[in-house]
Amino acid sequence: MRYMSGIFLLVLMSSPWALTAQHGFEAGVGAGVAYYFGDLNTNYRLNRPGPAAQVFARYDFNPRINAKLSLGYGHVEAYDSDSDNIFEHNRNLSFRSHIFETTGQLEFNFFNYNHGSRDNFYTPYLLGGFTVYNYNPQAELNGTVYNLREYGTEGQFTGEEYYNTTLALAYGIGFKVDLSFEWSLNFEVSARKLYNDYLDDVSTVYVDPDDLKALRGPIAPLLADRSIGDPSISRPGNQRGDSSRNDTYVLSTVSLVYYFGSITCPTITKYF
């Protein structure tokens, strides 16, 4: 009987079941590119990628479900001068911004994913969660860089500016693959659907330049209206942006991940 139990134990330990109870923590660091889509990039141009980076911790509940908390950075920018749309080209606005974010997300692995497994060592996955991010849109005028939010370019009164730290919906796809039991690579493309439309400082209509000068000083009208060509573009009340569609930014990263967990064998007593 002891001989048979020993054989059964050996078979059990070498079976795929020995890997299915795996869970534990991971930590990773990644780098990649950031893109912006919004009022100054309505046709999804990819010609101005900015740097992106992240560090994160992840907990593996089981081979299919994980939770991840990350700190991220991205730099985004856009220029109307790149657009083929005549109105946008003549509007001639631009912006750039550093973005700092904290994201909490859940991940669903399409396949069972077990570190160190010869069979289940890779999987595509979906992600969803929420991001808190901070941004500061800037533009250059005559060699000087200005923080656009401070100049109320769409007529905001002092103290009534849009929030520059706010919430976004995070969603995306990724792919995980083991390099060894401890190390793996993650490839991820994740978008942030924002709950405001001022990542680029553009959302509603042009305001009267004299009113803006009285509110914010002589530089404000020059930052609000950069138009070229047809002077009627910037007539007060005319469309400057599209407030019905909020802005989006996307981070595309490759991460090196270390696994701190261990393989947990099934409880032997339940089989005897």
Residue-wise pLDDT for 27-41, tens only, equals: 999 999 999 999 999
Question: What is the structure's pLDDT at 85?
Answer: 95
- Residue 187 CA to residue 176 CA, distance in Å, equals 7
CATH of residue 133's domain is: 2.40.160.20
Do residues 147 and 138 lie in contact, with contact meaning Cβ atoms separated by under 8 Å?
A: yes
Give percent of the chain above pLDDT 90: 84
Structural domain contains residue 272: no
Task: Tell me what the mean pLDDT of segment 222-248 comes to.
Answer: 96
Structural domain contains residue 1: no
Task: Tell me what the mean pLDDT of segment 7-35 comes to.
Answer: 66
Residue with the bigger pLDDT between 112 and 5: it is 112
pLDDT tens sequence across 122-180: 999 999 999 999 999 999 999 999 999 999 999 999 999 999 999 999 999 999 999 99
- Residue 126 CA to residue 188 CA, distance in Å, equals 9
Structural domain contains residue 270: no
Structural domain contains residue 7: no
* Structural domains in the chain (count): 1
Apex 15 CA angle, 14 and 18, nearest 5: 90
Residue with the bigger pLDDT between 259 and 15: it is 259
- Residue 103 CA to residue 82 CA, distance in Å, equals 31
Question: What is the structure's pLDDT at 263?
Answer: 58
Structural domain contains residue 165: yes
Domain region containing 223: 24-262
Give percent of the chain above pLDDT 70: 88
The yes-or-no verdict on residue 187 having pLDDT over 80 is yes
pTM for the structure as a whole: 0.88
pLDDT tens sequence across 81-126: 999 999 999 999 999 999 999 999 999 999 999 998 899 999 999 9
At 185, list the tokens.
Answer: 């690579």
pLDDT class for 261, splitting at 50, 70, 90?
confident
pLDDT tens sequence across 70-81: 999 999 999 999
How many C-beta atoms lie closer than 10 Å to residue 186's C-beta? Answer: 21
Structural domain contains residue 186: yes
Which residues make beta-bridge pairs with 71? Answer: 55, 102
Question: What is the structure's pLDDT at 23?
Answer: 76
Structural domain contains residue 269: no
Structural domain contains residue 268: no
